[in-house]
Amino acid sequence: MRFSTLSALVAVASAAFSFAAPAPISPASNALEARCLCQDIHSIIVDVTLTITPLVEELTYITSENCTVEILTPIIGEIKVALQGAIEEVSAITEVTVITLLTTVEGVVLTITEVAELVCGLLYLIFAALAAILRVVTSANAAAVTALLCEVVELVATLLQLICNLVGGLLAVLIPLVAEVVLSVIVELDLTAKFAFLGIAWSTVSASATTIYSTSVATITATA
Ligand SMILES: *[C@@H]1O[C@H](CO)[C@@H](O)[C@H](O)[C@H]1NC(C)=O
């Protein structure tokens, strides 16, 4: 499986070139995070994606019976820790060159489109799970559960903005690739202000977004 190969490479490369000061490791961090002394955007995004995938899977099978703050809090808490770790890692990248930033541990230099695809994969993973929660949550639990989800989405906003600031030209390539569910959840949680940097016309989301974004994706795919 490609992801396990990548994480093994991340581990080997981090051990061999431990030139970065390790980020403070919180007790909830898993072994993979502990090994990651990430300097490149690929490692950071792949790492956080790997960490949250099993957590998000738990959320995907949530039902209205167990869609409660009590059940969601520990899972959401771990997702937040993973996102905070990625935010720290991206924030720590200030002095590397763009080439270093975009070079994977395998020595491949990513294109902006590849970075955009990685980011969109992460966004889709998170927001599809949040959408699954919003679909089943009962009105009795809605306010408290929504507040919990907003904490995750605010961290995503911070991470996304940091990545867009680091990788010049990413935003323009990213926008058309962002899945509609991502934008719909942002609108539903009333967090569009946190994503103002995307420059999205939010009034077009939900109702007409499908047509607009699928057309853009088709165009990008055709020209890629
Ligand atoms: C919620 O309940 C469903 C159905 O029993 C189960 O499949 C799922 O794993 C539960 N999720 C959590 C997070 O407890």
DSSP 1: -
**63 pocket-lining for ligand 1 (C-beta < 6 Å):** yes
Distance 7 CA to ligand 1 centre (A): 29
pLDDT along the chain (224 residues), means of 10: 41 37 42 51 92 95 94 97 95 76 81 93 96 93 95 97 91 93 93 94 64 39 43
Cα(223)–Cα(217) distance, rounded to whole angstroms? Answer: 10
Q: Which atom of ligand 1 is nearest to the CA of 67?
A: 1
Cα(153)–Cα(126) distance, rounded to whole angstroms? Answer: 9
Partners of 103 in the β-ladder: 109
Q: Are 194 and 153 in contact (CB under 8 A)?
A: yes
Mutate to test the pocket of ligand 1, among 56, 62, 70, 73 (most ligand atoms within 8 A of CB): 62
Which residue CA neighbors atom 10 of ligand 1 most closely? 62
Distance 64 CA to ligand 1 centre (A): 9
Distance 138 CA to ligand 1 centre (A): 15
Distance 65 CA to ligand 1 centre (A): 8
Tokens of 8: 């093994």
24 alpha carbon, distance to own chain's centre: 20
User: Which ranges of the chain would DSSP assign to H, the alpha helix?
Assistant: 2-16, 31-35, 41-60, 69-92, 98-102, 112-136, 139-166, 170-174, 180-188, 209-223
pLDDT at 144: 95
- Whose structure tokens read 């899945």? 179
Look up the pTM and report it: 0.75
Cα(181)–Cα(38) distance, rounded to whole angstroms? Answer: 29
Distance 15 CA to ligand 1 centre (A): 38
**58 pocket-lining for ligand 1 (C-beta < 6 Å):** yes
Query: Coil, helix or strand for 92?
Result: helix
Distance 110 CA to ligand 1 centre (A): 38
Hey, what's the torsion of the CAs at 100, 105, 111, 115, to 10 degrees?
-100
By residue range, what is the domain housing residue 87? Answer: 5-223
**60 pocket-lining for ligand 1 (C-beta < 6 Å):** no
**62 pocket-lining for ligand 1 (C-beta < 6 Å):** yes
Which residue CA neighbors atom 7 of ligand 1 most closely? 61
Total of domains in the chain: 1
**61 pocket-lining for ligand 1 (C-beta < 6 Å):** yes
CA dihedral over 171, 176, 182, 186, signed as positive or negative: positive
Cα(197)–Cα(109) distance, rounded to whole angstroms? Answer: 26
